[in-house]
Homo-oligomer: A and B are copies of this chain.
Amino acid sequence: MRTVALAAGVSIKTVSNVINDYPHIREDTRQRVLEVIETLGYQPNLSARGLRSGRTGAISLVIPDLRNVYFAELADSVMAAAAKRGLVVMIEQSGGDRERELEILRGPRMRMVDGILYSVLALGQEDADLVDVPTPVVLLGERIFGGPTDHVTMKNVEAARAATEHMLATGRRRILAFGAHENEVIGSAGLRLRGFRQAFDSAGLHHDDALVVDVGNWHRGDGAEAMRAVLASGVAFDAVVAFNDAIALGAMRVMQEAGLRIPDDVAVIGFDNIEETRYSLPTLSTIDPGREEIAETAVRLLMERITGSEERIAPREIEVDFRVIQRESSTVTVL
């Protein structure tokens, strides 16, 4: 910058002013400075700017695992939303490990960013207070409600209920709740199970507890394994409401290997609307959680907190709308 100033015959500060669109600069001065910048290929040092201004132009996205397609797609949407606002995204993977999730949040790296999008799996409601750090945080996901930060989430209960009602509407009654977690109340599994039950309750139907299936980690392999166990146990069922797409796809594969036809013998619906659901065989019905809107909203809220003045706005809870996407795996069977 020093060199630029020298070459343009102005002060360093004037160069800075040009770069930052300070209004009171004569047009010819501005042009001259811009030309010199162009010629010399000058680029501002972000570290110095960050030091002086306190803003780095980077936000952090903390997620469990990029290999999980849902999170990769979420990261993609977040990066798009961030890019629109001139921000870069630093991704941190927690592996869904509680210690690591906390460690990341408290680490010095988080002081290098202007804000944090925090999507956790292991922290729970009891940790709400721990998320109160100096850097602005927007929480994603279903683990903590009513905490000290903004929170963007999907309508889990309503979506699970809608998925279940979709199955009921096609005449299915022995429906697996696939992906429950023992004793979980909040968290995706807990909320989705609640919605699932609501659908039965309000239809005046009873749901057999034997059809509630715990599926460990919601990876594809877990879904496959759990479905093998179900088939081995001999429990009869005619539909699966899977609590995410990965386990739905894993389960579908196992069922097909076992000779079950989808949707004729068993209808399936998943959750997340990952890209693969459009190409699986059969294509998988699912819940579109509004990923892009979640990302866009989360980044917007975070920006408001970052640029916001001292006014202490109360934490906001935002629930994004979902859509039921019907594909081949739950087409109404012609009897």
Q: Contact at B43–A108, with CB atoms within 8 Å? A: yes
Q: Which of B47, B76, B111 makes the CB contact (< 8 A) with A51?
A: B47
Residues of B within 8 A of A58 (CB): 90, 112
Bound-state CA distance A52–B293 (Å) is 40
A82 CB to closest chain B CB (Å) equals 11
Known: A76-B93, A91-B91. A109 touches B69 (CB 8 A): no
Do B66 and A75 touch across chains, with their CB atoms under 8 A apart? yes
CB contacts (< 8 Å) of A51 on chain B: these are 45, 47-48, 50-51
- 17 new A-B pairs (CB below 8 Å) besides A79-B93, A252-B281? A43-B111, A45-B111, A46-B111, A47-B50, A48-B51, A65-B76, A66-B73, A69-B72, A75-B91, A89-B91, A90-B90, A221-B279, A224-B279, A250-B279, A253-B280, A257-B281, A281-B281
The interface of chain A, by Cβ under 8 A from chain B, is 43-48, 50-51, 56, 58, 65-67, 69, 72-73, 75-76, 79, 88-93, 107-109, 111-112, 220-221, 224, 249-250, 252-253, 256-257, 275-276, 278-281
Do A88 and B93 form a contact, CB below 8 Å, given A111-B45, A112-B46? Answer: no
Contact call B108/A46, Cβ cutoff below 8 A: yes
Q: Closest 10 CB pairs between A and B? A: A47-B50, A46-B112, A72-B72, A47-B51, A43-B108, A66-B76, A253-B281, A220-B279, A48-B51, A66-B72
